[in-house]
Amino acid sequence: MHTANAAQADASGTMEAVKAALASLPQDSVVLRYLLAAANDITSSDVDLAAASGAIVLGFNVEPAEAVVADAKNRGETCYSVPEPVPAQTCRRPPSEWLKPLL
User: For the segment 3-34, what is each residue's pLDDT rounded down to a tens digit?
Assistant: 668 888 888 888 888 888 777 776 666 678 88
Angle in degrees, 0-180, between the axes of helices 44-53 and 66-75, rounded to the nearest 10: 20
Among residues 30, 15, 89, 76, the alpha carbon closest in space to that of 101 is found at 76
Residue 88's pLDDT band (cuts 50, 70, 90) = low
CA distance 50 to 4: 8
What ranges do the domains of the chain cover? 2-101
Model pTM above 0.85 = no
Find the largest Cα–Cα distance for the chain: 37
- The DSSP code for 78 is -
Higher-confidence residue of 30 and 57: namely 57
| SS3 at position 92 | helix
CATH fold, domain 2-101, is: Rossmann fold (3.40.50)
pLDDT at 45: 92
